[in-house]
A and B are shown apart, each in its own frame.
Chain A
Amino acid sequence: MNTSNIELPAWLEIIVLPILNIVMALFFAGLIMLAIGVNPVEAVGIMLKGAFVFKGGLGYTLYYTTNFIFTGLAVAIAFHANLFNIGGEGQAYIGGLGAGLAFLALDSILPGFLLVPIGIMAAALFGAAWAFIPGWLQAYRGSHVVITTIMFNFIASALMVYLLVNVLIKPGQMSPESRYFEDTAWLPQMHEFLGWFGFTVSKTPLNVSFILALLCALLVWVYIWRTRWGYELRTAGFSESAAVYAGIKPKRVIVSAMCISGALAGMVAVNEIMGVHHRLIMNFPAGYGFTGIAVSLMGRNHPVGIIMASLLFGVLYQGGAELAFEIPKITREMVVAIQGLIILFSGALALMLRPWLVRVYLLFKPVKEAVG
């Protein structure tokens, strides 16, 4: 029976099916744990405690969540234009270069209230510029954005190694990192920020860029569903020829979508470079760009879904760190494996369970009503 034409009610399609997919992924993750002799139930308990209960756990969870919201939104906005941006990793890296260069040049001259916005803009601008090239090449030269963004990740990595080893390295030190920025350029940590309002929370890497991330999610929602540009973006993504008939220029949409996507990915640097490390270091994107793809797929490319998926990945990352600490047999890479499973089941096999769901649905509904 071909079930792809049979429509399901919205709650089955956008809530039950995605949850079933995640359950499948977690089921296989549990099998891996059993295979290496770890009790999955105990492991989940430790992860949840590590992510929420232990002192500072929630702060770390939300700190990771911040990165995933940025990269998840970046992937999602490109998806809406039918583009697959795998280059979040490189765009975040180059975004860090933007913020780093701005601070290294200006931090002794300008006061903090100017430095912070300049840093954010520089990170977004550099990230956008790094995504602009693949976008432009796709729109005007016909080279596929998937391949070019993969290549640009490697080029970004090589460029940053060169710059950090030869140019930006702090003189007289061995490890390839820049000098610390003046502390006027540092983003307020969340415990400081909440302290101003009289709340006391434990000290964690969580900083105000979390609020910026939530704001970006809101802006992306407004942009995609409440503006003319968002309408053009979705139209061009849905059907290029329909877009042309409607007077939309798909090439321009491709380039602008990639730029916004790159800018959002570049914002990872706001959290990492401006909020946590306070200097330019090697490899700070640490896979967050790739995780953004899993986040976006899980969140069905919707900002609300992305925030929830980011939180889940925040829990996985922080809980995974706790797990590696508590059970020596397990490592943080378990989280990477789970991420792979989630991308497989929520992304590539997203519709695998649909025929079954349709069959179960039809058991309770007469066929005529379901089809007609």
Chain B
Amino acid sequence: MLDNLSAVYAIIDATFRVSTPLILCAMAGLFSERSGIVDISLEGKMLAGAFAAGSVAAVTGSAWLALGVAMLVSIALALVHGFACITHRGNQVVSGLAINILASGLTVVLGIAWFRTGGQTPSLTNSARFMPVELPFAQSLSDVPVFGRFYAEVVSGHSVLVYIALILVGVTWWVVYRTRFGLRLRAVGENPLAVDTAGLSVSRLRYAAVAICGALCGIAGAYLSTSQNASFVREMTAGQGYIALAALIFGKWRPVPAMLACLMFGFLDAVAIRLQGVELPGIGEVPVQLIQALPYILTVVLLAGFIGRAIAPKAVGIPFVKER
């Protein structure tokens, strides 16, 4: 019984660790898409951020500086996306794809040119990483039967970026639903003409949204290379940007449901490793690949309208032409 409980705790603990980059990217995508800019380049921005953080942390030894540079690099890519989509009204999917492919190539090219280790950045010492932090009273409460142990084993002991990600979900909700900027952001994604008529700049709002999106993707990237792992590895995002996009759709472009979708997809990921080769009663052995593909399958089923409806912001993907 006790062993089962620690297994459950270990899975929940792992769920939070693998969900963190998803949550950050989903919030990033939420800002962009709620403002009317389709963003399939979460993946590329996160990858570039991970590379920037891995490089800076390896050279300077400062995790916080690495985080800052990762955010700046990711914001720069986001502004390229904005420049193509907002200023030049280019195809938003094409632009996003270009950024993904560019990031995928450039991180390896620069990695090999700078560090000569097959596209990897040097391993980081613990002082250059975001290490697990122990929350107050975790030790003293760990003897308290249920809650104390849960607090000590699951809630405490994550990297500070995990807590930041969870806090940012609340912040995102507050910004999007409770501030003037959030109201305008949602309006510009639904009916940009109305926003324009009200005398606000559609371009400026969308640039702001895209830049926030870049900053959040940068945090996600820094988490991958300086917290979850101890270096940048080529293609280390491995499709997580797309899973985050799927989670955003699954959460119907709303912060808290999107976070829950991320946690669900993260949970599937955490469980997949443990279910390898295990016979489930009544079902038999479930292929790991099926569990890994489940986020994508579920999203397609949702989009097809078989389990509820996911309705995108009305103006998403349509370039805004200010009438003259």
Residue positions of A touching B, CB distance < 8 A: 2, 32, 35-37, 84, 86, 137, 141-144, 146-148, 150-152, 154-155, 158-159, 161-162, 165-166, 290, 293-294, 297, 329-331, 333-341, 343-344, 347-352
Contacts and interface: CB of A to CB of B under 8 A. Distances in A.
Nearest to A141: B304
B102 A340 contact: yes
Nearest to A156: B293
Contact of A84 (B93, B114, B299, B304): B93
Q: Which of B85, B89, B105, B292 has the most CB of A within 10 A?
A: B105
Contacts of A36: 109-110, 113-114
Contacts of B112: 329-331, 333
A335 B105 contact: yes
A162 B289 contact: yes
B88 A349 contact: yes
A2 B89 CA distance: 14
Contact of B90 (A37, A340, A347): A347
A2 B84 contact: no
Q: What secondary structure prevails in chain A residues at the interface with B?
A: helix
Contacts of A335: 105
B213 to A, nearest CB: 16
B289 A159 contact: yes
B246 interface: yes
A154 B291 CA distance: 12
B170 interface: no
B142 interface: no
Contact of A331 (B103, B108, B300, B304): B108
Contact of A340 (B40, B104, B289): B104
A336 B305 contact: no
Interface of B: 38, 40, 80, 83-85, 88-95, 97-106, 108-110, 112-114, 119, 239, 242, 245-246, 249, 287, 289-290, 292-293, 296-297, 299-300, 303-305, 312, 324
A172 to B, nearest CB: 20
Contact of B249 (A147, A161, A347): A147
B55 to A, nearest CB: 13
B98 A151 contact: no
B109 A334 contact: yes
A226 B246 CA distance: 40
A280 to B, nearest CB: 16
A138 to B, nearest CB: 10
Contact of A154 (B80, B95, B100, B293): B293
Contacts of A336: 101, 104-105, 108
B95 A348 contact: yes
Nearest to B304: A141
B94 A343 contact: yes
Contacts of B80: 344
Contact of B106 (A294, A340, A347): A340
Given A143-B303, A146-B40, A86 B97 contact: yes
Nearest to B90: A348
A152 B101 contact: no
A339 B300 contact: no
A349 B99 contact: no
Contacts of B114: 36
Given A330-B109, A334-B109, A155 B296 contact: yes
Contacts of A352: 88, 90
Contacts of A331: 108-109, 112, 119
B101 A348 contact: no
A49 B83 CA distance: 37
Contact of A143 (B98, B109, B292, B305): B305
Nearest to A297: B94
B303 A137 contact: yes
Contacts of B249: 147
Contacts of B83: 349
25 contacts: A84-B93, A86-B93, A146-B38, A148-B303, A151-B246, A151-B296, A151-B299, A152-B300, A155-B297, A155-B300, A158-B290, A158-B296, A161-B289, A290-B101, A329-B113, A333-B104, A333-B106, A333-B108, A334-B105, A337-B102, A344-B84, A344-B95, A348-B88, A348-B90, A352-B88
Nearest to A354: B88
Contacts of B88: 348-349, 351-352
Given A331-B112, A348-B85, A293 B94 contact: yes
B97 A290 contact: yes
Given A141-B303, A155-B296, A290-B101, 14 more contacts: A84-B91, A142-B305, A144-B303, A150-B245, A158-B290, A159-B289, A159-B293, A161-B289, A165-B289, A290-B97, A293-B97, A337-B101, A337-B106, A348-B85
Contacts of B108: 331, 333, 336
A86 B93 CA distance: 9
Contacts of A166: 287
B205 to A, nearest CB: 20
A63 to B, nearest CB: 21
B93 A154 contact: no
Nearest to A37: B113
Given A146-B93, A166-B287, A297-B94, A154 B109 contact: no
Contact of B94 (A137, A144, A348): A348
Nearest to A84: B93
B94 A32 contact: no
A150 B239 CA distance: 10
A248 B121 CA distance: 56
Given A334-B109, A340-B103, A347 B299 contact: no
The 5 closest A-B pairs by CB, nearest first: A340-B102, A336-B105, A337-B105, A348-B95, A143-B303
Contacts of B98: 340-341, 343-344, 347-348
Contacts of B303: 137, 141, 143-144, 147-148
Nearest to B108: A333
Contact of A343 (B97, B245, B299): B97
B109 A333 contact: yes
